[in-house]
Amino acid sequence: MNKLVLPGEYIGTEEEFIPGPGTYEDGGKIFASRVGEVVVGQDYRVMVRGGSNEFTVRPGDEIIGVVTEINEPLAVVSGEYLIRGGKVIEVKVRALIHASRITGQYLDACSKAIKVRDVVRGRVVSTRGKIDLTLQQPDLGVIYAYCSRCRKPLERINSELYCTYCQRSELRKISRKYGEIPEGCVINENRR
């Protein structure tokens, strides 16, 4: 293949390849878990070789991304930024949040605390086969959100998010840093 890929980039399906080092499988699709070159062996084992370890996602890293879908009890996050040691690195990764890792209390559905299109800040807890995030700490959670009804940005008022257009409140697992976008990150308010 000889193709350079970034973390989270689609490589192929399980019907085509066997996932190897530097890759992970999710729903029958194979994605890169690090930056590097795609190499396919004679046994159809696909791996990502080389690249910089700086961009390999590790437990403890923080990811800022957009919730793209919710399939209870999981939410899929399209990671756009990796934060390591205060440094912001632009990346493309795909991560999962389980409902049990959102609030630290029993929660049976992700959609009770986060919504599609929310921008979240999560900490990586596992990279075994897939990237798993937690939102349980006070600094983690939703950092930017849109109204579920009119799609206007929500404002934080005390411990709730409020739509000034619809004049209604919405519940989310709000980060203590709601509205604080780290330097180097760009949030597109026109995202639909």
Render 50-113 in DSSP notation, one character per residue. ---GGGS--TT-EEEEEEEEEETTEEEEEEEEEEETTEEEEEEEEEEEEGGGTSSS--S-GGGT
Within its chain, how far is the Cα of 140 from the centroid?
12
Answer yes or no: do 133 and 98 share one domain. Answer: yes
The number of residues making up the chain comes to: 192
**What's the CA gap between 95 and 15, in Å, rounded?**
22
Answer yes or no: do 49 and 122 share one domain. Answer: no
Cα–Cα separations (whole angstroms), residue 83 to 55, 59, 70, 122, 136: 10, 12, 24, 10, 17
Instruction: Specify if 73 maps to a domain.
Output: yes
For residue 139, the number of C-alpha atoms closer than 13 Å in the C-beta half-sphere is: 7
Of 35, 54, 73, the residue at which a domain comes to its end is 54
Number of domains composing the chain: 2
Whether the model pTM is above 0.85? no
Tens of pLDDT, residue by residue over 14-61, are 999 999 888 888 888 998 877 778 899 889 999 888 755 456 788 999
Answer yes or no: do 66 and 137 share one domain. Answer: yes
Low-confidence spans in the chain with pLDDT less than 70: 1-2, 51-55, 184, 187-192
Answer yes or no: do 25 and 49 share one domain. Answer: yes
Q: How many CB atoms are located within 10 Å of the residue 2 CB?
A: 7
In this predicted structure, what is the pLDDT of residue 33? 78
Domain holding 67, by residue range, is 62-143
